[in-house]
Structures are given as structure tokens and as C-alpha cells.
Amino acid sequence: MAKLNLVLGNDITSPVAIHEMEKFNKKGVFDKDKIALVPDHFVPNKDIKSAEHCRCVRNFAKENEISNYFEVGEMGIEHALLPEKGLTVPGDVIIGADSHTCTYGALGAFSTGVGSTDMAAGMATGEAWFKVPSAIKFVLTGKPAKWISGKDIILHIIGKIGVDGALYKSMEFVGDGLQYLSMDDRFTIANMAIEAGGKNGIFPVDEKTEEYLKEHTTREYKVYEADADAVYDEEYVIELDKLKPTVSYPHLPENTHTVDEAGDITIDQVVIGSCTNGRMEDMRIAAEILEGKHIAKGMRCIVIPATQAIYLECMEKGYLKTFIKAGCVVSTPTCGPCLGGYMGILGDGERCVSTTNRNFVGRMGHINSEIYLASPAVAAASAIAGRIVAPE
């Protein structure tokens, strides 16, 4: 059993947990300041059912005086929002009823996704039961080339070990190459640990981590490091200087190819956003490539800044103007297209290059549609070309 520093839920998973809590003898939550409720999947609400889900979460937050409830206008995509708000720090134990809760390992926290029933128990008791995972070490070495980002690195790793290569294991990222990875790169890598089956992904706390924390929180935190004699099930060396822009083909994240192997794959839509790649650096990279250009005729390009703060900074830096002049649409923060919810559903036979994290059959719409996972750089360049290409 472990004590929890934060319990997270969204508008899809929280109502299930709330209804489970109604069956408990214990009323109320263990700590109103250690629960975060972020409506982000179908927000602003797309239909009556999503509105009712959000109303359930809103009422629960009000009744229990939840301090970290984020209404429309304050909200963002949960895994970008919580670090931005300083709610996740090194040494924390965090559970969330969303599989990509493993994102906060970028800050040296143990964070993992759980089911809604576990979320309910966590909100009521402040504790959760875990089987301690064994670990795999990934040694990142060398300096990546321009346009090679955290997305290329994690796609390369998933392609190497497979979608079950780290099943219920802790993916530990170390090495001299970390100095070249921004916090946004690290969030992306930790975010997709679950796509390799990982229980969590985790990075050591270094100067970049500490700088990020100074900007976002005043909370005290505890840094944990691997022991010198730590035992690992496996160890992989990833030479960052040898990586090329990488794309995951349908219908599994492990089906990876470098872009120079792509051939002529024409596309219908591009999505730049999500909890994986909707952060400020992702917006900057997309804007840099789209500046002064226009997306291909017949192309749909949807750009989704992950939080209100990122949206505002994009506006102040002129990125929104760049996106719109390039023929893109810009959305308020939402997870919508990633899970085939709304804001970018695919029709029969359509192809999409997406900076999201999953490309399963029917994930973004019709079962005959295809999703190609890529970095914001590849996505933006492909939107201009109308086919999968590497940025120049």
C-alpha cells in the first residue's frame, strides 16, 4: 500500500469513480487539495451525454470543495495542465484514471494510470495498492539532430521493444543524451511509456527539471535516485545522434518506420496536439515549419494547444496567425480527436498524420481509416506536402 500525493480524473473516467464512491460506507474525500478533476475529453461538451458527465464531475467537485477542479476557461489537457499548475513534483506518488498518467515521470515522480474503481478508492482513502514493477534501463547517448524530438525517440524505442516490451515494468531513462532533451521532450517520452506496456516511465531530476519546478511550483519535493547496484531486467542503449524522423504506421505504435522509408503515402488530415504533443515547444516547432507556407489543397490541419496558457502564449507570439494563414484550424484545448471523440473524426479510407499516442483500428473514427503517429515537425511538413515527408 502506498500513500498518494495526487489522484486525477477526467470527464470520462471520473463519473464512474464518483458512482463507485456512492457505494462506500465512507463519505467524502481524503484530502480536497490532493484530487484533481480535469474535464478535457469532450469539453466544451459535444452532446447531451458529455454535458451530463461534466455536470456530474462539477457537482462532485462543488460538494467536496475540490480545490483543483478546472472548469472550461481554466482547463487544459490534463497531462499538460497539472505540471503547468505545479501539482506534480519529484517524489510524488500519483494515480490517475487515464492511462497516460505516466507523463509525470518526466519530473521524477512515480505516476501511473489506474481504473476508475481504483480512482474511487484513492479519492476516499488516499492510498492505493501496487505490485512493485521491475525495471528496464534506457541509456540515451549523443546529441539528436535538428527536428529529432522526444516523439521520435519514444517511437523508436517502442518500435525496438514492442507494445508489450515493458509490460508492467518501470522504464528508466538515463544517459548523457538527457542534457539535450527539453522538459517537453521528456514529458512526451514518459507519456508514451504505456504504449510499450510500461507501468511507468521515469527520468532523473537534473538542472532542467529544477528550473522547470522553480517556474511552476513552490511545493517542496524529494529526489529519488536509482541505487548504484540497482538491478534491471534489460538495458538498451539508444544513440540519439543516429535517429531519423520516425513514424508509427497503422495499426500499432510498434509499427515504426523512418520517414525516408515512407514512399508516397498521401494523407487527408493532420492533427497537432494532445497530451503527447500539444505543449509550447510543439507549437513553436509547428509554427516554424508552417511560417509563410500553406497546407496542401484539400488537406485538413487541426492544431490544438494543450492548455489555455499555451493558447495565450501562441497568440502573443503570433503562432495562431501563422497557423490560420497556413490554412489550419485552431481549437480550444481538448483531447477530442485523439480518441475519436470529436474535432477531427476520420471517414472511411481516410489517412491522418497525428501527434497523438495511439493508432489502433478505429481510434480516430472509421475502422477503415488509418493513423500515422509522428512528431509535430513531421506532421507540419506533411500537412504542407499532402503526404508523409520529413521537415527540411
Euclidean distance between CA atoms 56 and 14, whole angstroms:
9
Residue 157, helix vs strand vs coil: helix
267: left (phi over 0), alpha (psi -120 to 50) or beta: beta
Neighbours of 315 (CB within 10 A): 13
Place of cell 471520473: 14
Q: Are residues 24 and 36 in the same domain?
A: yes
88 lies in some domain: yes
Q: Are residues 98 and 160 in the same domain?
A: no
So what's the pLDDT on residue 261?
A: 87
345 lies in some domain: yes
So what's the pLDDT on residue 123?
A: 97
Q: Are residues 237 and 253 in the same domain?
A: no
So what's the pLDDT on residue 8?
A: 98
Minimum mean pLDDT range among 18-27, 62-71, 323-332: 18-27
- Cα separation values, 179 from 117, 141, 155, 349, 350, Å: 39, 10, 20, 42, 39
Question: What mean pLDDT, rounded, does the chain reach?
Answer: 96
pLDDT digits (tens, 9 = 90+) for 55-68: 999 999 999 999 99
Query: For residue 262, is pLDDT > 90?
Result: no
pLDDT digits (tens, 9 = 90+) for 280-290: 999 999 999 99
Q: Are residues 253 and 366 in the same domain?
A: yes
Residues 243, 48 contacting (CB under 8 angstroms): no
Sign of CA dihedral 237, 242, 248, 249: negative
The pTM of this model reads: 0.95
390 lies in some domain: no
392 lies in some domain: no
Looking at the structure of the chain, the number of domains it has is 3
Q: Are residues 379 and 250 in the same domain?
A: yes
Q: Which of 74, 94, 128 is the last residue in one of the domains?
A: 128
Q: Are residues 9 and 114 in the same domain?
A: yes
Helices (H) and strands (E) in the chain, counts: 12, 18
Contacts of 59 (CB under 8 A, 6+ apart): none
Q: Which of 178, 211, 242 is the last residue in one of the domains?
A: 242
Contacts of 154 (CB under 8 A, 6+ apart): 188, 189, 191, 192, 193, 195
CATH code at position 140: 3.40.1060.10
Euclidean distance between CA atoms 7 and 56, whole angstroms:
17
Q: Are residues 75 and 190 in the same domain?
A: no
Q: Are residues 201 and 309 in the same domain?
A: no
Q: Are residues 156 and 274 in the same domain?
A: no
Query: Domain range spanning residue 101?
Result: 2-128
Beta-carbon-side half-sphere exposure of residue 108 (alpha carbons within 13 Å) = 19
Question: For the residues 207-235, what does the mean pLDDT come to?
Answer: 96
357 lies in some domain: yes
Residues 171, 198 contacting (CB under 8 angstroms): yes
391 lies in some domain: no
Q: Are residues 280 and 215 in the same domain?
A: no
pLDDT digits (tens, 9 = 90+) for 337-371: 999 999 999 999 999 999 999 999 999 999 999 99
Q: Which of 176, 209, 242 is the last residue in one of the domains?
A: 242
Neighbours of 322 (CB within 10 A): 21
pLDDT digits (tens, 9 = 90+) for 293-302: 999 999 999 9
CATH code at position 102: 3.30.499.10
254 lies in some domain: yes
Quote the percentage of the chain above a pLDDT of 70: 100
Residues 135, 232 contacting (CB under 8 angstroms): yes
Q: Are residues 305 and 345 in the same domain?
A: yes
Q: What is the DSSP letter of 361?
A: T
Residues 100, 191 contacting (CB under 8 angstroms): yes
Neighbours of 235 (CB within 10 A): 12
352 lies in some domain: yes
Q: Are residues 37 and 92 in the same domain?
A: yes
Euclidean distance between CA atoms 198 and 190, whole angstroms:
10
Query: For residue 78, is pLDDT > 90?
Result: yes
